Each structure stands twice: as structure tokens, then as C-alpha cells.
Amino acid sequence: MDLELKYLKLKEHFKNAKVIESCAELIGWDERTNMPPQGADLRALQNSALSKLHHDLVTESWLGDALNELASESVNLPADSDICVNVREWIRVFTRANKIPVTLVQEFSKTFVYSQQAWQDARSQNNFVLFQPWLEKIIDLKRHEAKCLANGQVSYDALLDDYEPGATSLELDSIFYPLKDSIIKVLHSCSKENKRNLILGNYPEQKQKIFSEIIAGYCGFDFNAGRLDTTAHPFCCGIGPGDCRITTRFNPADFSSGLFGVLHEAGHGLYEQGLDPDHFGLPTGTAVSLGIHESQSRLLENQVGRSLEFWRFIYPLAIKFFPDQLSNIPLETFHKSINQVRPGFIRVDADEVTYNLHIIFRYELEKDLLSQNLSVKDLPDAWKAKMKTYLDLVPDNDATGCLQDIHWSAGLFGYFPTYLLGNLYAAQFIEKAKKVIGWNSNCLNLDVLSELRQWLKKNIHLKGKRLLPGKLCENVTGEKLDKKYFEQYLMQKFNS
Amino acid sequence: MDLELKYLKLKEHFKNAKVIESCAELIGWDERTNMPPQGADLRALQNSALSKLHHDLVTESWLGDALNELASESVNLPADSDICVNVREWIRVFTRANKIPVTLVQEFSKTFVYSQQAWQDARSQNNFVLFQPWLEKIIDLKRHEAKCLANGQVSYDALLDDYEPGATSLELDSIFYPLKDSIIKVLHSCSKENKRNLILGNYPEQKQKIFSEIIAGYCGFDFNAGRLDTTAHPFCCGIGPGDCRITTRFNPADFSSGLFGVLHEAGHGLYEQGLDPDHFGLPTGTAVSLGIHESQSRLLENQVGRSLEFWRFIYPLAIKFFPDQLSNIPLETFHKSINQVRPGFIRVDADEVTYNLHIIFRYELEKDLLSQNLSVKDLPDAWKAKMKTYLDLVPDNDATGCLQDIHWSAGLFGYFPTYLLGNLYAAQFIEKAKKVIGWNSNCLNLDVLSELRQWLKKNIHLKGKRLLPGKLCENVTGEKLDKKYFEQYLMQKFNS
């Protein structure tokens, strides 16, 4: 069949491009786990070569006609058929990539190696000035990129679209600002009693790692098809089928910090491991958006990992691992301790309530940086002012302030809001999941975890990019994304 | 200048190809250190994509004319000038690559991922049959490759040429067979008294790693531009400037085993780190041959690492690290223990005398496999017979017999002889070095190690491929390669 043959040719081509991308992923993982300090120059060359190659592959001139032909010939097939989904997404990739000159792509990929090194130095030396020129350069590049992409669109939206297809800042504003008020309401109603220190102690790192691996394994992360490493900045890297890598950092004083990091990344990992391996390299075998991706990590970290019923299941094991530290702490006290709400400087250590405020003010700041309403040199002060407004805190240095996150150094503008979208999706998904699987408030054991994973895999992971994120949410939960689920979740859990 | 511009264009092109190759190197390193068990399918796709890409780049049709033009225009320049060297080597690469169909290249790179997995399984289960079909396939591929390359050449020589440019099996035969006799003579004259067990004990792995890193650092391996990891099969991977990675395995009973592994790989590492970074990606910035490469590792491992004068320098530190195990052992006894000559099954654990016999019989076997004088199914028995002849030993299983080495599973036919060439070069180089630097028989301290490294860097590393290996040897030592230096070294050291 002619259509089928044309489709096969494109499939092969885009799969090849994805294999090159997966090499870049692996090299990126290595950069953050293993690369020696002096490896940056070579890494910049490698990144640049691979990204140019990928760009060349997805912009080859024959693709335009071939894609159009295929689109018109498949017009009568169901919209969620493999051909229609993949052709739609290939056209999106081809169109986007063709708007961006390859020189810009190469400039990006080189710059990010150095800017991340500069950011690391700046953070460890608590000296924003070391990072400033790099951030300026990155913002220039991102504004250039947005200009290439935007068809009369707001610059920010052109970038956002890369992470959350179809989302706009107008829409985000309309969700985030009312949400902010309800979050602040919850925050004020939370108990001020500090239970967080109760579980502090001395938790050997090696033991933490083994314990975390067992728990991630309970939740379904497959260590035959993945691994866990220790890095300064936790992340998940889904290189491809059979190879998904997560990282965490351990706090010797508090084993829960490393563990929740692992659960978060394992949530991402379950998504990557749950994609259809037969569709590797195709949009139908690729995660739909970062917002949905983040929902999977937040769901495992919070709705599962910080729930009382989960700890009913794993606390006995935790006590076996850390008897000196935990055996005198009752389960309920422990559970309160890991759910302490308290404004703090560091986003990744934030509780489920204040976390969202961290995101909203970063979202505001990055919009201002891109639109040049805020200049890079004024970022440290603007950061402090925002933090004061949102969290009533002022960091006394930039290392725990505007230098804390890796994103801007890596050019990830438009990425932060997906963390909050993830929280909203997670709350809506879990509400639905609880209705259809055997999760009751008693005990979240291996059977329930397995049911939950199967449900997520069937309804979300295996779908790939068949539906846009909003439509996927409707399909899974029967409703459009609605922030009320998250608000209810927070109210129920934290309104004391 | 026109010539200069044409040269620049080619330089850029081949450098790009090398960057892609360096990505493949890094991915290969990862495969042997980090890849999860189920990552093999994806890795095969990645290897295949990168090797195809590299092959495409170095065989592009415009290169032929451009290279010829450049060669004829630079005919009056000195033969060791950058242009002449690089053009000569590019022509070699272009010509070789054009003889091999890209489908074969891809078939190779895919096959090796699986054949290495099969070999690992076969070895760990001590079951040659698991590996047999893969080895048969590999030999088919290599024979096909040799046929493409050979212009009336012996098949084996066509493959050998890839590792040791210009070498032939005729020439190797004429060196190896007389050498065999003198080695066996030394072997018979060695003391039979077993001192090897004297230093056995319990050496914690973490302490071994730190100690090894210190010693490798003393020898000049730069950990800001490299790293040390633990793997089942030690190797060195020179990814590029600023990023050279070595691995070792530690034996909890004998710290010298891991340490000599580190020194061996660090010797390779010094070569990689000593190449001219400004010539990265060019033949002038690439190691000349595997024989010379191996000379650098054997020199550091043996001529330095197993010498009494080196241990005069580092033994006090070794005792500080391992007081319970070593403080009662006098230096001289320790030195005898690490130089015990004793035929054994495992090549990488072999002493300096018997090591060479391991190589010679592997060389014979692989020639027979390629020429089909030996069929794969008969390899285990042929191995046992050779070992009996050469070392008067018969392994009682294939795991410690014909399955012990990684090379054949990775298609490295023609590689083994470079280990023995390395020993010969090392002995000849060190003889010269001792004459010009401050190495006396008293103490090999940091100053002398530094002098030695500078000498090697200046005379060998920085030369890249400016001279062919034989010519380089002549330039460095004033003489053609002569096995007498190695024979003298063995006689002096081991004739008791």
C-alpha cells in the first residue's frame, strides 16, 4: 500500500533522528554525573555536533512535501491513529525546526555547557556576577529563538509551547493567580508547630541509597531498565527503552529528603518506562508534555509518597533500616514531620503548599526577563522582592536565592510553569484513580501500587502523544483540567 | 592562501567526524560502566547510527578530489608538516572507509553490542556454546571486512593494519617466534619459589581506590581531565581533550592487582592526555598506533610500576594505607612478590615473562580462525592445546580459557599482537629514557616521574601520527624496533 510505504519511510527517518537525540540525552546525563571538570570544551563540541545533526535531519527539504502528502492522504483516518498522530507531530517538529537557523541551534548547545559550568561556579562561590554575562547571553538567544518561532505570538508563549503544547501565558495567568490566593489561605491555616526536626539524625548515605532503591522498586521502577545515581541536582533522563536513569542527592541528616527525590524522579521514570517500546522514536511513543510528565513525578512523590497509607506500608522497613533514628517515633508523628508546611528558600525542598508559590514567582520573573521588563543585573533584587511578597522570606545570599535552580542556565525558559501544571494534573488524576482502583485509606501496599501503575500506564503512558495534554486529561478524568482538585487536596490534607 | 583554505575546509570536516567518533567513544564507555541490562537494544541502535554517520562523513564523494588536490599541492612541504601528515592520514581513512560498505559498518556496530552481552553471559555461566554463534557471525563479518580491504594482501594483515599501520604477519612471525624461545629460556631460569602469597590479605576496595588514585596522580594522570571507575574489564577510553577515562577491577585479597591495572590504564591515559589538544580531531593529534599505545601502558605498569626503585618511593605510603597487611613485609620481599614469575591461566594477571606467551598463542589462534584453519566450535580444545604447549597448563573450563578476553567478542582481530609489540617498544624506549633523564637505580620519585613523563610527551605523545610507528621508534631511540632490548630487560630482571 502506497500510503503505508510513504509512512514507513518517514517513520524510519524520524526514528533515526530520535536515536541521535537519545545519544545527546545520554551524553547530557554523563555531563551531569561523570564528566571531569576539563571535559567541558569537548562536550560543547559534541553537543553542538549532535544537535546540528538532529536539526539537519528534521529539516531536510524533502520532508515538507512528504509530510503534506501523507497528511492529505490520511485525512480520513481516525485522529488518534498512529499515522495521524505521528504525521501531525512530525509536521509540528519540522515546522518549528525550520523556523530556527541551525547556527542558533549550535550556538545554544555550545553555550549551555559553559553557562551551566558558570552557574555551578557562581552558586558554589555565591557570586551572581560570574553567572550574569552567561544569563544575558542565554536570554538573548532565547529571545532570538522566540522571535523565530512566534507568529505574532507572545514571545513567552512561543517558548512555553515547546514544553506544554498549546498552553499560553494568558491561560496560565488565569489559573495561577486565583490559585495563589487559595494556596496562601491554606498556608495561613497550617499548623505552625515545627515537627520537621523530629526525624533528623545521622543516616548513612549507602543505607539511604539501598532503602530508596527498594522503595522505588516497590513503586515499579525497573532497575534492569534503569539506574539510580547521586548528583548535585536530581533529574530523570529517559534515554530510551530499557535505559532510564534517575538521580538524587542524599541529606545525611534527613533520609526523607533523598527518598522523596528518588520517588519524584521514579515517577518520571515510570512514565518513561511505561511508554510503548514498539513506538520508540515516534510521537506515539513519546511523553505528551512536561506538565503531564511532572504530574507523574508529583503524584508518586506526594499523593503516594507523602501519604499516611503509604507509610503504613513502608514504615516498618524504614525502622529496620534506621532503628536508632526512627524506632521511637510513632508513625503518625513521622507522617506529620514529612508533611510540615513551612516557607523556605529552596524550591526542591519545599512542602506541597509553598512549592507552588516558588513556581509562580519564577514564572513571573522569567516572563519579565524575556520581555526585558527586568534586566539580568537586577535579577537578584527582584528575586528577593518576589520571595518577600510570596513567602515572606528574604534569602541572604544568591546561592539560596536566584542561583538555586539549574533551569535558566540551561536555557529552559517556559519550563517552570509545567511544575505547577503537574501538581494540578496529579491531583485530578489521583482523584479519578482512587475511584477505579483498590486504593483505600488503610494501606497502600504492593498490590495497590501495582494497580495504580497499571492504570497510569494504560491511561497515560502508553498513549504517547496521541492526544494533546488537555484532551488527555479530559479522556482520563472525564473533565477538563480543573484546579479545584488540587485546591481540595491541599485543603483536605493541610487545613488543620 | 588557496592551499590553506582548502586545508581548513578538510580540517573542519574531519574534525567533525572525530567529534562524532568521540560521542561513540563516550557511549562505549557508558556501555561498559553504567548501562542497565535492558539497554542493549537501544545501544545497538545508537552505535549503528553513529558509526553510519561517521562512515558517511569520511566517505563523502567530494573528499576524494579535494584530498588528491591537496596532496599534489603540498608535495613540496616537509613530510612531517601538519598538512602532509594530515592529508596522508585522511587519504588512508578515506580509502579504507570507501572499501567497506556502510551496511557492513552498521552490521558490525549492532552485532558487537549483542555479542559482548553473549560473551559476558557465556563467561559467567562458563558455557562456550552461548557465545559460539556470535563468534561465528563476527568472524564472518571480519572476513568480509578483510576481503573488502585486502588488495591481494593476507586477510589477517588487512585487519592488523587497522591497529598497527604497516605491520604484517610475516614481520610479526619473524619477531615473535625467536622471541618465544628466549622467553621460554628466561621462564625456565626463574626461581620457582612462590612469594606471591606473601602479600595476600584483606584490602578494603575503597582504600585501594584512593591509594591507586594517589599513585596514578603521582605518575601524572590528571584527574581534572579524567576519572577512574571500577569495571569487570579494565580499559582506557580517551574521549578527547580534558576527558580521559580509565577503569580497573580490585581484588580484595591483593591490592597490587588493582593498582597495576590502574597504572597500566594510566599509562594509556598519559598518552591520551599528552596529545596536542590544539590538534584534537586531526591525525597530528591522534595516537600513532596501538603498539605504541601499549608501550606507554606497559612502561608505566612494568618498567616503572614493578621496579624496586618505584617501590622505594611509594612503599612507605602503601604501608600507611595497609599497615596490618604490609608493615611486616620488607620492601625487597614485597618487590619479589609482585614480580613472581609463574604460568597462569589469565593473561591480564600474568607476570612480565609469561604474558608474552599468552599473546603469541592468541595471535596464532586468531590467524587460524580467520583463515578457517580452525572452526569456532573447535576453539576451546585448540585453546587448551596451545596453552599446554606454551605454558604447560590446561584450563579446566572455558571461562578461564578461551572466554577470558573481551577482544574477539568485540571484533578486535589483529589487536592482540600489539600487546607484545608494546612490550618491545616499552623496553627500547625506557632504555633510551634512562640515558637522558635523571632515573637512577636508587629512587624513582616525583621529580623523576615528572621528567620521564615530559620526555614521553615530547618524544611520543605530542608527535601524534607525524611518523609511522617504526619510524617514530627510530626517531626516539636512534634504532629500528629491536627485540633485544626486551630480551635483555627480561634476562636482567628475571634471570636468577
Q: Which of A162, A439, A99, A438 is nearest to A290 (CA)?
A: A162
Our answer to whether residue A265 is catalytic in this structure is yes
- CATH for the A167-496 domain, from 1.10.1370.30, 3.40.630.30, 1.10.10.60, 1.10.287.70: 1.10.1370.30
Q: Is B49 on the interface with A (CB under 8 A)?
A: yes
pLDDT by residue (tens digit) across B419-444? 999 999 999 999 999 999 988 877 89
Decide if B267 contacts B298 (C-beta within 8 A): yes
- Among A265, A301, A366, A431, the active-site one is A265
Residue A481 in this model has a pLDDT that exceeds 90: yes
- pLDDT of amino acid B1: 56
Residue B220 in this model has a pLDDT that exceeds 70: yes
Edge-first strand order for the sheet with B236-240 is B226-230, B243-248, B236-240
Going by pLDDT thresholds of 50, 70 and 90, the confidence category of residue B190 is confident
User: Grid coordinates standing for A108?
Assistant: 545554544
- pLDDT of amino acid B252: 96
The single-letter DSSP state of residue B327 is: T
Q: Which residues pair with B236 in a beta bridge?
A: B246
The CA distance from B420 to B479, in Å, is 18
Beta strands per DSSP E along A150-259:
226-230, 236-240, 243-248
pLDDT by residue (tens digit) across B362-411? 999 999 999 999 999 999 999 999 999 999 999 999 999 999 999 999 99
Cα dihedral value A158, A160, A165, A170, nearest 10? -90
Burial of A35 (0-12, 13-18, 19+ CB in 10 A): buried
Q: A30, A117, A221, A278: best mutation site toward chain B, by most B Cβ within 10 Å?
A: A30
Contact list in B for residue A26 (CB cut-off 8 A) is: 26-27, 30, 46
Q: Which candidate from B22, B27, B224 shows the least CB-CB separation from A36?
A: B224
pLDDT by residue (tens digit) across A17-49? 999 999 999 999 999 999 999 999 999 999 999
Distance from chain centroid for Cα A251 = 21
Residue A234 in this model has a pLDDT that exceeds 80: yes
Residue-range domain boundaries for chain B = 2-165, 166-496
Cβ pair B23:A226 closer than 8 A: no
Cβ pair B38:A223 closer than 8 A: no
Amino acid letter, A46 = Q
Going by pLDDT thresholds of 50, 70 and 90, the confidence category of residue A496 is low
> What's the Rg (C-alpha) of chain B?
23
User: Grid coordinates standing for A82?
Assistant: 498512529
Question: N- to C-terminal Cα distance for chain B?
Answer: 65
pLDDT average, residue stretch A378-405: 95
Cα separation values, B114 from A392, B39, B110, Å: 58, 11, 7
- pLDDT of amino acid A151: 78
Decide if A464 contacts A287 (C-beta within 8 A): yes
- Phi/psi for A228 (5° steps) reads -120, 130
- pLDDT of amino acid B329: 96
Q: Which residue of A has its CA nearest to B35?
A: A243
Contact list in B for residue A31 (CB cut-off 8 A) is: none
Q: Which of B472, B458, B444 is nearest to B218 (CA)?
A: B444
Residue A168 in this model has a pLDDT that exceeds 60: yes
The CA distance from A326 to A329, in Å, is 5
Q: Is A64 on the interface with B (CB under 8 A)?
A: no
Strand A236-240 versus strand A243-248 pairing type: antiparallel
Q: Which residue of B has its CA nearest to A19?
A: B46
Residue B483 in this model has a pLDDT that exceeds 80: yes
Cβ pair B19:A53 closer than 8 A: no
Q: What sections of A290-371 are H helices per DSSP?
A: 290-298, 308-321, 323-326, 331-337, 355-370
Task: Give the CATH architecture of domain B166-496.
Answer: Orthogonal Bundle (1.10)
Cα separation values, A431 from A59, A294, A335, A425, Å: 42, 16, 21, 10
- Phi/psi for B236 (5° steps) reads -125, 135
Residue B103 in this model has a pLDDT that exceeds 70: yes
Q: Which of B104, B207, B199, B204 is nearest to B146 (CA)?
A: B104
- Among B21, B31, B265, B294, the active-site one is B265
Cα separation values, A426 from A266, A300, A303, A453, B355, Å: 15, 9, 8, 13, 62
Neighbours of A447 (CB within 10 A): 11
- pLDDT of amino acid B496: 64
pLDDT by residue (tens digit) across A52-101? 999 999 999 999 999 999 999 999 999 999 999 999 999 999 999 999 99
3-state SS class at A273: helix
